[in-house]
Amino acid sequence: MGSTLVTGVGRLRPAIERHARELLEELARLPQPVDLVERFALALPVRVLCELLGVPFEDRKVLERCAAVLLRRSASAAEVAAADKARSEYFARLVEAKDQEPADDLLSELVVRHVRTGRITREQLVSLGSLLLVAGHATTANQIALSVLALLRHPEQLPVMLAGPEAASCAVDELLRHLTVVHFGLRRVATADITIGETVIRAGDGVVLAIQSANRDPDIFPEPDRLDLTRRARAHVAFGYGAHRCPGQALARAELEIALPALFRRLPGLRLAIPFDQVLFAEDSFLHGVRELPIVWESAHGAAWERKG
């Protein structure tokens, strides 16, 4: 599955560019300020995942609602169960439809190559589709929104992001390192005794890995707290490490490399509509992120920003 995601990304680039352009055109027509999270950061990854999986565009709201509940730490057990059920039922119907009439998308390919040949069951494909959607949506959305915030706070670094594809790709790695949106700790079990410093971890012990700390290791990234978009930060572990390293990383990178320069080019003079200390961080989420990011750009009329919820 990982290789399908990686090899498919080149093919998806034109679609990512088109969706980014369309969303920015819609956004640019709205009265200011606009919430960047809702109108761009969340919307782009959903459209891209719908494209990848072959989810009809008009169904994306159902999936967005389920993902929002599943990522909210304060969601009740009943809410989580209901969202999980709705999502699985949706994917079950979708897989059935792809089996009836395969199209040019990942789910159809998996049905034809893996379900029909008996390599995986239909149920396994349903849970894989759900997993991809959850894993690929809020992660990328939070990374887009936090990256914009970081660039607004370090405007002197923006020219690097706009200096062409190679510089943008390097800048994206530094933003991934610096922001590390997956900050709940990856869980592993030690398979052998390991000594780290003066601590011995015994085979069979559970370990929680804080990748945000690894990404600020001064031996690997000198002055780790400093955001430096020209830094060669490719060795970061924002996508994890080892067998479970994120299979969507090529897609996420492509989205960021396309979305961030496109946004700053389309909205000159982009800035926050509120002081930084009023930005609402998503404290009830498993991921580092912001709940909303009110923005204005050139020719703003300065309407008051009302907080949601």
CA distance 56 to 47: 10
Considering the complex, what minimum distance in angstroms separates the CB of residue 31 from ligand HEM? 30
Helices and strands, number each (H, E), in the chain: 11, 7
Considering the complex, what minimum distance in angstroms separates the CB of residue 268 from ligand HEM? 26
Considering the complex, what minimum distance in angstroms separates the CB of residue 123 from ligand HEM? 17
183 by Cβ neighbours in 10 Å (0-12 / 13-18 / 19+) ranks as: middle
Closest CA to 213 of 163, 178, 242, 170: 178
Considering the complex, what minimum distance in angstroms separates the CB of residue 139 from ligand HEM? 4
Considering the complex, what minimum distance in angstroms separates the CB of residue 252 from ligand HEM? 4
Question: Closest CB to ligand HEM among 55 and 252?
Answer: 252
Q: Which two tokens stand for residue 90?
A: 């949706």
Considering the complex, what minimum distance in angstroms separates the CB of residue 302 from ligand HEM? 32
Question: Closest CB to ligand HEM among 115 and 145?
Answer: 145
Q: At residue 285, what is the residue type?
A: S
CA distance 104 to 54: 8
Question: Closest CB to ligand HEM among 258 and 273?
Answer: 258
Count Cβ neighbours within 10 Å for each residue of 114-139 and write b for 16 or more, e otherwise. bbeeeebeeeebbebbbebbbbbbbb
Question: Closest CB to ligand HEM among 32 and 130?
Answer: 130
Residues that bind ligand HEM (CB under 6 A): 131-132, 135-136, 139-140, 143, 181-182, 186, 238-241, 244-248, 251-252
Question: Closest CB to ligand HEM among 33 and 247?
Answer: 247
**What residue is closest to ligand HEM based on CB?**
248
Question: Closest CB to ligand HEM among 4 and 157?
Answer: 4
CA distance 272 to 33: 9
